[in-house]
Structure 1
Amino acid sequence: MSTTENGNQSGSVEHTDLNVELVVAASRKAASTAISAGDRAPLFSLEDKRMGLIALEDLLLKGPVIVQFRRGAWCSYGDHATDAVASVDQSDSTERTSVVVIEPPCRVSVKYPSPALPVLLDANMAASRSYGLAFELPQSLRAYYYQLGYTPPQTIEKDTWLVPLPATYVIDRDGIVIFSYIDVDYRKHCGCKELVDALKAAQTKRTAKFRTSLVAS
């Protein structure tokens, strides 16, 4: 038995492996040029059906922010990655941290992995594109993805089938990405420890910056 692209069991190993290889190849360029550690994080304001409009700029006023981009509710591989960020959100070992999950709308009902985690709907994949995470899905996979529940965003370009590349970012209060995890193999994800370490590093940096300002004054 093998695992299909959305995480369910299937008996067609060859078909599954080919699908993964096609997606990996198509997403490599986006992965190499996407926003990464050291870059300034593009701002966004997106809607969560339960909490209303949420803006990154507002979240940064409270502390660092973990932003996770997922392929959508139709793909169960994102659930494991979200479990990791949900664990960080519940941790009291770091300063106050906001966590948001971003995914494009699809025909599958949105899953809320945790009552505390807003799932922001990225209409037309505006946020994904601003982070450089959007890539063109190969023609041969489009009918298959549509069957799974994915609906491509409406764009100006005709015959465009954009899909988001999964990614996880830690953004400090100054709006700088201090940690980024992007893997062209959507079945992989970063762990909770990596995120906690990044947040602790951000706290250490902020404390040192605060002490330096006190000395200067």
Structure 2
Amino acid sequence: MKRIILIFTLVIMLGFNANAQKGLAAGTKAPSFSGVDQNGKKINLQGLLKEHKSVVLFFYRGQWCPYCNKHIKELQDSLQLLTGKSAYVIGVTPETSDNISKTIKKTKAGFSIIQDKDDNIMKAYGVNFMMDDATFTKYKGYGINLEANNGNSRHTLPVPATYIIDRSGKIKYVHFDPNYQKRASVKLLSAEL
């Protein structure tokens, strides 16, 4: 219980650091991106939009984050509702492929998840922020080592955000909230598709 309270406190502190980020606005052309998902499938936005009516793109911080895991599980539990509307769901994270595997094991995620190894996707969508050294040290003291989790020393995390991108490549819907606990509900995403 103490660990959960400490993580909650750290989450709030990270939310304040993320306030400077704004994310992209609805109506903006979605930046192109590509990657390889956990199953070795090559992913690129243009290809996905040729095959699907829309893309639900969400950013999460890592397998160590209980709020991320809860959101991913909710997306998985209602995946047919979203894919039934010809949406392709894809998660983007800075965590390593080994840690993506841990996320999938915890959440049973059956949709594509790609590692944003160089933070390029997070930067393009305006969701990246740098964790300060003091917060990094506190996280490490609680057993959360971002350097090991992400495989680099940048201490970059995404603001939890979700974008719906329509077939024309425009951002139709944005959920961007530095409050780590607030995520776009499946019900809301489904209504926007």
TM range (shorter): 0.7 to 0.9
Map 1:21-170; keep pairs closer than 5 Å.
Answer: 21-30=12-21, 32=22, 34-62=23-51, 63-91=53-81, 94-106=84-96, 108=99, 110=101, 111-112=103-104, 113-114=107-108, 116-146=110-140, 147-151=143-147, 154=152, 160-170=154-164
Q: Shift of residue 98 of structure 1?
A: 0.5
In the alignment, is the contact (CA less than 8 A) between 1:84 and 1:190 conserved in 2?
no
Q: Go from structure 1 to structure 2 and tell me whether the alpha carbon gap of 1:153 and 1:37 turns closer, same or farther (over 3 Å shift).
A: farther
Q: Go from structure 1 to structure 2 and tell me whether the alpha carbon gap of 1:153 and 1:182 turns closer, same or farther (over 3 Å shift).
A: farther
Q: For 2:33 and 2:19, how far apart are their aligned partners in 1?
A: 24
- Secondary structure, in 3 states, of the residue corresponding to 2:173? strand
Q: Shift of residue 25 of structure 1?
A: 1.7
Q: Go from structure 1 to structure 2 and tell me whether the alpha carbon gap of 1:35 and 1:88 turns closer, same or farther (over 3 Å shift).
A: farther
Q: Shift of residue 51 of structure 1?
A: 3.2
Question: How many residues are aligned here?
Answer: 184
Give the % identical residues: 23
Which segment drifts farther, 162-171 or 20-29? 20-29
Q: For 1:90 and 1:67, how far apart are their aligned partners in 2?
A: 16
Give the partner amino acid of 2:70: H
Give the partner amino acid of 1:139: D
Q: Give the RMSD, CA atoms, in angstroms.
A: 2.5
Q: For 1:188 and 1:169, how far apart are their aligned partners in 2?
A: 14
Greater relative CO, 1 or 2 (CA 8 Å, sep 6+): 2
Structure 1: state its 5+ residue gaps.
200-217
Q: For 1:134 and 1:76, how far apart are their aligned partners in 2?
A: 19
